[in-house]
Amino acid sequence: MTDLDAFAAAYRDTRGRVGALVRGRDAAELETRAPAAPDWRVRDVIAHLTGVAADITAGNLDGVATDDWTGAQVVARRDWPVDRLLAEWDEQGAAVDAVIPTFPEPIAGQLLVDTATHEHDIRGALDAPGARDADVLALAFAPMARFALSGGLRLETEHGTIVTGDDDGSPTTTVRAPRFELFRAMTGRRSLDQMRVYAWSGDPRPEALVIGLFAPRATALVE
């Protein structure tokens, strides 16, 4: 199995986990606002996930990752039953599985970052933690740190060390924290105060842990 085949397998496995997690939930649970993404209900997060797959297969990538692009995915599916959302994601996601091995690693990594982020947004909304050592998170974490964060940070987790940025500069600051914590921080799911209490060598730089598409939370989110 090539590295990008592993990315495709992780994307497929995440789709299966999310489907198993939400299928059969009552309407009230699906209407729950996701604390990590408060503008969206659980069902809206699923609508976004299947919308991403549908847009990739349709080649609808103008404005990719912008609020308008993701918002259109949710609006188009706002009133769909969850079984219809999951069926579309199974169908369109299978087509995406087949092409992920052709993606450049940063693009494949971005897809996994988005998928893993929203799996845990859903888990938080449903009070159903889990899958924190899943392959999708492990595979998403490394390219996100290397390609999406500025240089100068050494990230030390229970799974090893990654130096941020794609240059050869020596890191000036080290931060030690669980990989799941750093992953959630990078995608704007932690506040600056939460990040400051990680173990830092050198001056704490919590703002440098957040990738450019996101902003740190104003209030703490504990998961």
Report pTM: 0.95
| C-beta of residue 133 within 8 angstroms of C-beta of residue 157 | no
Summarize the confidence of residues 8-23 as an average pLDDT. 98
> CA-CA distance, 95 to 98, in Å (whole number)?
5
Summarize the confidence of residues 27-40 as an average pLDDT. 96
Looking at the chain, the whole-number percentage of residues with pLDDT higher than 70 is 97
In the chain, count of helices (H) and strands (E)?
9, 6
Kind and range of the H or E element at 95? helix 82-99
> CA-CA distance, 52 to 69, in Å (whole number)?
9
> CA-CA distance, 19 to 84, in Å (whole number)?
11
Whether 87 shows a pLDDT value over 90: the answer reads yes
Query: Which residues are CB-contacts of 195 (< 8 A; sequence separation ≥ 6)?
Result: 185, 204, 206, 209, 216
Whether 134 shows a pLDDT value over 60: the answer reads yes
Q: Are strands 173-176 and 153-157 parallel, antiparallel or unpaired?
A: parallel
Summarize the confidence of residues 56-73 as an average pLDDT. 95
Chain segment 38-47, per-residue pLDDT in tens: 999 999 999 9
Tell me, what's the pLDDT at 166?
Answer: 60
Tell me, what's the pLDDT at 177?
Answer: 98
Q: What type of residue sits at position 11?
A: Y
Q: Are strands 199-201 and 173-176 parallel, antiparallel or unpaired?
A: antiparallel
